[in-house]
């Protein structure tokens, strides 16, 4: 794929390959891993704007960032423009360059609360939320799906509303809410969204190879791609897409991720994070299935490291 910079006001993305926000996964260490692999921008897990008023430990952990993160981008979830504006302008997001508004989450509890993909059916409220977040003075992006139902797409109409409300960039997941994470992306709907606006559009959904990315850009005319769940099992995808050479085995990545996570999180969190990440990485490594159960049963980081060394230690570098 053609690699190019994307200019968004005061922020310039070094390339057009982004890492998607993923609840429960895109903590600070994982974002730094994807940045190292070549991702031009990496988003935090979705953070509830309503919950930010409590400024508790959980929210601070979700929004942990440092100056080593090249571009700091947080994703906000909410349905009240006033609360979204307060969060966007608040202390916890002060260090962030970009705010991404979640208008695509399909999970039932989010949808039923009128947030995430439910906003696809409420354009006036969605528009008010974007305008409210723009008052923060930050770059504002919107991630959304093509519609609630596959047979009732709204991608073009929604994209145009986002641009008119002041959004600087759009990320379009080429599936409807009813499709969840299954089935091929609807290229035509992403193309219609791209054709409706003049701001940059990233295409998301079903990309697990350079060939997939090439097809996505050819079919949609999008300005770049966003990689989601596949990056958990193969973070090297960012290196392949951006033409980088990364000579590190999965075991080395896990060792480095453990060390980085221990600088900022307590041991129980690090254990849970490394277990989860290693389980995903095992999907791409032959002969590691027998280690999965043991990984979730081990009781210390030292024991976990021994298991990971046994599972990945003989792997050649990527």
The catalytic residues are 105
Distance, CA of 14 to CA of 65 (rounded, Å): 19
Q: How far is CA 216 from CA 6, 67, 198, 249, 255, in A?
A: 18, 33, 19, 29, 34
Gyration radius (Cα) of the chain, Å: 19
CB atoms within 10 A of CB 144: 28
CA distances to 1, 69, 97, 156 from 218, rounded to whole Å, are 9, 31, 30, 18
Cross-strand pairs, 102: 143
Distance CA 295, CA 287 (A): 14
Structure tokens at 228: 């989601």
User: At 89, is the secondary structure helix, strand, or coil?
Assistant: coil
């Amino acid at each position: 794929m053609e690699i190019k910079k994307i200019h968004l006001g005061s922020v310039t993305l070094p390339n057009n390959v982004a890492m998607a926000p993923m609840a429960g996964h895109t903590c600070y260490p994982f974002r730094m891993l994807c940045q190292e692999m070549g991702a031009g921008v990496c988003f935090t897990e979705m953070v509830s704007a309503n919950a930010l008023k409590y400024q508790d430990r959980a929210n601070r952990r979700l929004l942990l960032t440092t100056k080593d993160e090249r571009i700091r981008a947080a994703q906000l979830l909410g349905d009240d423009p006033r609360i979204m504006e307060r969060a966007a302008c608040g202390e916890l997001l002060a260090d962030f360059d970009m705010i991404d508004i979640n208008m695509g989450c399909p999970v039932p509890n989010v949808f039923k609360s009128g947030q995430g993909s439910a906003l696809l059916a409420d354009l006036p409220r969605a528009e008010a939320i974007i305008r409210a977040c723009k008052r923060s003075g930050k770059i504002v992006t919107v991630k959304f799906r093509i519609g609630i139902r596959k047979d009732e797409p709204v991608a073009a109409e929604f994209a145009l509303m986002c641009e008119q409300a002041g959004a600087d960039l759009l990320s379009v997941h080429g599936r409807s809410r009813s499709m969840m994470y299954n089935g091929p992306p609807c290229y035509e709907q992403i193309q219609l969204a791209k054709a409706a606006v003049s701001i940059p559009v990233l295409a998301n959904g079903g990309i697990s190879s350079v060939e997939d990315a090439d097809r996505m850009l050819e079919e949609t005319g999008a300005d770049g791609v966003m990689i989601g769940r596949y990056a958990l099992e193969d973070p090297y995808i960012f290196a392949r897409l951006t033409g980088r050479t990364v000579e590190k085995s999965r075991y080395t990545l896990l060792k480095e991720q453990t060390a980085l996570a221990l600088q900022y999180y307590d041991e129980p969190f690090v254990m849970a994070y490394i277990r989860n990440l290693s389980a995903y990485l095992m999907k791409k490594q032959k002969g590691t299935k027998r280690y999965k159960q043991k990984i979730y049963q081990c009781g210390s980081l030292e024991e976990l490291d021994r298991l990971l060394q046994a599972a990945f230690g003989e792997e050649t570098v990527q």
